[in-house]
């Protein structure tokens, strides 16, 4: 028997124009938390998608209990005891929690001895058990769309746990969780670990990594850098390995001198009494203003309010001292304000449209000839220009 429940060896995967994984390896021991670390774009998610059968490796092998296996798709991965909670959730909000948990693998029963139909009673009873197991007090018949993003994340974790897996991949699971939910997740991870499950944990949060992981594998630009026992590591060492050079100063001094105040928000208050209230701030020319707060602090809601996505009960926005009236996003755009949304897949882009359409959509009126015809040439020029930058 192998010491490892799962091994990936010599994995190579290229996308057009980028080598995402350049002969990478990963060895998972049962009953351990294995942190996978690296900067954005290092190849962590791609490696996990290869393990879970979403991507096909160009080269490399996967071994389970020392035996070579082939994983062609997620259902084969699940059959082999691998479950994954994705970085970008793709839940179905119009369906119930139970249906989302058992999506693609509904329990079935015979009806009148002839037809095979979904066994809803069993599905909801099983879903209830799974939710209880991970200490989540949700009604499995509730619509998923009624939950917050962090609660949906919890359901996704329950779903992975319900698969009775031996390897559980958590790809940045805490990015949208509150502190209490993070603690709940850590208890689930400890439980699974005690049951012998190997957990791959992807996170950027150093304190989390050093707290819950047993081993740490670090990747950089698609390369395997190394694997270390977590208790031998320091934050500085991890960062140095992740970025590939000594970091003398994590936050280098800036020589930027902000100019005069150009943007002012005064007494901004939501029409929703539980959302943002009496918010005032100024932004100077050339200044970057950070807005900090815990999940649920209404940071996103405030910015969406300023951008005209949410309604305010009072408050003013001024640009260069002049009040501007923003009732909808179009008004904000017309006043030279741009916004990158938090949920970029859901509200930032339109996945069915081309890159060119997406880039030009916020400024389409600049590309209209004779008031009605889109000038595609001009749009393509814009895309080329952006590419060059």
Chain residues in the site for ligand ADP (CB under 6 A): 15, 18, 20, 38, 40-46
Residues 313, 330: Cα–Cα separation, whole Å: 19
- CA dist 218 to 48, 165, 203, Å? 14, 24, 11
Compare residues 41 and 107 and give the one whose CB is closer to ligand ADP. Answer: 41
237 binds, among Mg ion, ligand ADP, none (CB under 5 to 8 A by kind): none
Closest of 354, 32, 20, 373 to residue 198, by C-alpha = 32
Between 8 and 47, how does the x/- string for binding to Mg ion read (CB under 5 A)? -------------------------------------x--
By a kind-dependent CB cut-off of 5 to 8 A, residue 40 interacts, out of ligand ADP, Mg ion, none, with ligand ADP
From Mg ion, ligand ADP, none, interface partner of 42 (C-beta below 5 to 8 A by class): ligand ADP
- Report how far residue 260's alpha carbon sits from residue 320's, in angstroms, rounded to the nearest whole number: 9
Q: Does 174 bind Mg ion (CB under 5 A)?
A: no
Give the shortest CB-45-to-ligand ADP separation in angstroms. Answer: 3
Distances (CA, A) of 232 to 7, 156, 214, 235, 238: 22, 32, 10, 10, 10
Least separation in angstroms between residue 38's CB and Mg ion is 9
Question: In whole angstroms, how close is the CB of 157 to ligand ADP at the nearest point?
Answer: 19
Paired strand residues for 85: 170
How close are the terminal C-alpha atoms of the chain, in Å?
Answer: 53
Quick one: which of 381, 334, 332 has its CA closest to 360? 381
In angstroms, give the least distance from the CB of 383 to ligand ADP.
Answer: 17
- Of residues 18 and 361, the one with the C-beta less far from ligand ADP: 18
Burial level of 82, CB count in 10 A (0-12/13-18/19+)? buried
| 91 touches, from ligand ADP, Mg ion, none (C-beta below 5 to 8 Å by class) | none
Over the window 53 to 92, marking each residue x when it contacts Mg ion by CB under 5 A and - when it does not, the resulting string is: ----------------------------------x-----
Task: Select from ligand ADP, Mg ion, none the partner in contact with residue 43, using the beta carbon and a kind-dependent cut-off of 5 to 8 Å.
Answer: ligand ADP
Are 100 and 123 in contact, with CB atoms under 8 Å apart? no
Identify which of residues 46 and 360 has a Cβ nearer to Mg ion in the complex: 46
Structure-token match 């990158």, residue found: 340
Report, in Å, the least distance between residue 46 CB and ligand ADP.
3
Binding residues for Mg ion, total number by CB under 5 A: 2
> C-alpha distances in angstroms, 149 versus 60, 90, 174, 288?
36, 11, 11, 27
Q: Which residues bind Mg ion (CB under 5 A)?
A: 45, 87
């Amino acid at each position: 028997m192998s010491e490892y429940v799962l091994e990936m060896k010599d994995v190579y995967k290229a996308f057009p124009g980028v080598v995402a994984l350049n002969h990478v390896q990963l060895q998972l021991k049962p009953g351990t938390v294995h942190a996978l670390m690296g900067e954005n774009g290092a190849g962590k998610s791609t490696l996990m998608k290869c393990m879970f059968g979403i991507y096909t490796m160009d080269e490399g092998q996967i071994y389970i209990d020392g035996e070579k296996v082939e994983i062609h798709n997620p259902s084969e991965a699940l059959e082999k005891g691998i479950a994954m909670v994705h970085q970008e959730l793709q839940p179905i909000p119009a369906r119930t929690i139970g249906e989302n948990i058992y999506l693609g693998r509904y329990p079935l029963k015979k009806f009148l001895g002839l037809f095979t139909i979904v066994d809803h009673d069993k599905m909801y009873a099983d879903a209830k058990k799974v939710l209880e197991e991970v200490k989540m007090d949700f009604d499995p018949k509730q619509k998923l769309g009624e939950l917050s993003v962090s609660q949906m994340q919890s359901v996704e974790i329950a779903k992975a746990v319900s698969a009775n897996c031996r390897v559980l991949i958590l790809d940045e699971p805490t990015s949208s969780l509150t502190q209490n939910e993070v603690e709940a997740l850590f208890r689930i991870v400890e439980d699974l670990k005690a049951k012998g499950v190997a957990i791959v944990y992807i996170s950027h949060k150093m304190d989390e990594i050093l707290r819950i992981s047993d081993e740490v594998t670090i990747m950089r630009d698609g390369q395997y850098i190394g694997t270390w026992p977590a208790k031998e590591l320091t934050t500085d060492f991890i960062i140095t390995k992740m970025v590939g050079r000594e970091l003398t100063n994590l936050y280098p001094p800036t020589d930027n001198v902000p100019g005069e105040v150009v943007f002012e928000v005064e007494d901004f208050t939501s029409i929703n009494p539980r959302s943002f209230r009496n918010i005032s701030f100024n932004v100077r020319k050339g200044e970057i203003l950070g807005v900090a707060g815990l999940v649920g602090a209404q940071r996103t809601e405030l910015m969406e309010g300023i951008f005209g996505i949410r309604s305010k009960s009072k408050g003013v926005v001024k640009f260069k001292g002049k009040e501007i009236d923003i009732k909808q996003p179009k008004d904000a755009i017309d006043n030279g304000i741009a916004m990158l949304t938090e949920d970029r897949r859901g509200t930032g882009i339109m996945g069915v449209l081309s890159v060119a359409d997406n880039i030009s959509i916020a400024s389409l009126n600049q590309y209209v000839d004779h008031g009605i015809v889109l000038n595609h040439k001009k749009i393509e020029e814009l895309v080329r220009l952006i590419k060059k930058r």
